[in-house]
Amino acid sequence: MPVTLLGELVRVLRTRPDWLYGMLCSWLLGLGTYAFLVVFTPPDLTQPMNAVLIPVILTAVADGSLTNQLAAEPRWAADVLRSGTDPGRILLVRNILLVLWELLFVGVVVALTVLLGHDAAWVRGALPQLAVLPVASVAIGNLASVLMPCPFMRMNKRFQAVGTWARWSIYIAIPFALSSVAAAMWALPEYLERRWQPQAVTHAMAIEPYPPTQAHALRTYVMIWVIIIPLWHLTVWLISLRLAQTLARVRRHGMVRLMDKHDQLTARLPELSLRAAARQLPKRIREIPADLRGELSLLGSELLEATGTVTRL
């Protein structure tokens, strides 16, 4: 059965997989960051994009990478891939669902900001920016889910699992790198505004008999923040998604083997309490160097297999 947007939405609401609750925890992370910014670094809530930007990017990065669109449900994903479903299609459907979910979070943060700042005048001008805020972070997360797939496992079993800690540690570190990338994407329009606006004002003064007014600043604002920012983020989203889809098709068989191995490991682990499982944490941490060597060897063999597949194609 093909994976469709409506079908996937219904299936997730019906089965309520563990990663769905992980996404709710990501909301708590974003709202906690927002509360910290409002309480300890009182921003100007009549011009609050910084207060909105940081929690939204953190939440989108956490959801886009830690929920791991292809490996979030290992058994389901392995069965669907074995049935012949295009992994690129799975990524596209989950990507759209995740963007819609993150836009709902953006709406919650904006509503809180309007309520606390008693001012909604800024929302209309910021709508193009708000609409694309989570897009790039989610799309870059697709690359993480293909380059370093880390099947979802409950913590009481993760603490016991042997041979998974190197991969899990790398995957936990990915959101921090992605947060830097997502934040750096705003450096381009900021740079353009600093470089472009003074030149626009100078040009206006040279050719017009009266001093430049607010209209000149408005034109610069519209060009950069209403046109350039949405196109810039949508371009990153498209390139990241296309690259992730291509890599997923190439690594299809390796990902199925990884998810089958993960499912077998999970079935063998006893159902301990979280406290009892956490006692094994020091032992598991000491195994990371050996796990890392194994992961690098596995990655090398998968790359050789992918190279051979591309050559045959």
Instruction: Give me the number of domains the chain comprises.
Output: 1
Helix, strand, coil shares of the chain as percentages rounded to 5?
80, 0, 20
Torsion sign (Cα): 249, 253, 259, 263? positive
Q: Count Cβ neighbours within 10 Å for each residue of 206-243 and write b for 16 or more, e otherwise.
A: eeeeeeeeeebeeebeebbbeebbbebbeebbeebbeb
The backbone torsions φ and ψ at residue 159, rounded to the nearest 5 degrees and listed phi first, read -65, -25
Element (H or E) spanning 86, and its range? none
As a whole number of Å, the end-to-end CA separation of the chain is: 26
70 pLDDT above the threshold of 90: no
CA distances to 69, 100, 158 from 65, rounded to whole Å, are: 8, 16, 18
Give the C-alpha separation, 308 to 301, whole Å.
11
Element (H or E) spanning 125, and its range? helix 121-132
Q: Is 198 exposed, middle or buried (0-12, 13-18, 19+ CB in 10 A)?
A: exposed
Give residue 212's pLDDT: 46
What's the token pair of residue 192? 């353009």
**DSSP code per residue over 140-184:** HHHHHHHHS------HHHHTT-SS-HHHHHHHHHHHHHHHHHHHH
Beta strands in 118-268 (DSSP E): none
Give the C-alpha separation, 89 to 51, whole Å.
35
Give residue 105's pLDDT: 92
Query: Which range, of 55-59, 122-126, 186-190, 241-245, averages the lowest pLDDT?
Result: 186-190
Q: Is 296 exposed, middle or buried (0-12, 13-18, 19+ CB in 10 A)?
A: exposed
Q: How many percent of the chain have pLDDT more than 70? A: 75
- Contact (CB, 8 A) for 244 and 146: yes
Task: Determine if the pTM surpasses 0.85.
Answer: no
Give the C-alpha separation, 285 to 50, whole Å.
37
105, 67, 94, 88: which is closest to 11 by C-alpha?
94
182 pLDDT above the threshold of 70: no
Give, to the nearest 10 degrees, the angle between helix 252-268 and helix 229-250.
80
Average pLDDT, the chain: 78
Give residue 112's pLDDT: 92
CA distances to 49, 64, 184 from 135, rounded to whole Å, are: 16, 9, 14
Query: Which is more confident, 302 or 69?
Result: 69
Query: Which is more confident, 218 or 146?
Result: 146
Band (108; pLDDT cuts 50, 70, 90): very high
Q: 178: domain range?
A: 5-312
265, 239, 258, 266: which is closest to 298 by C-alpha?
258
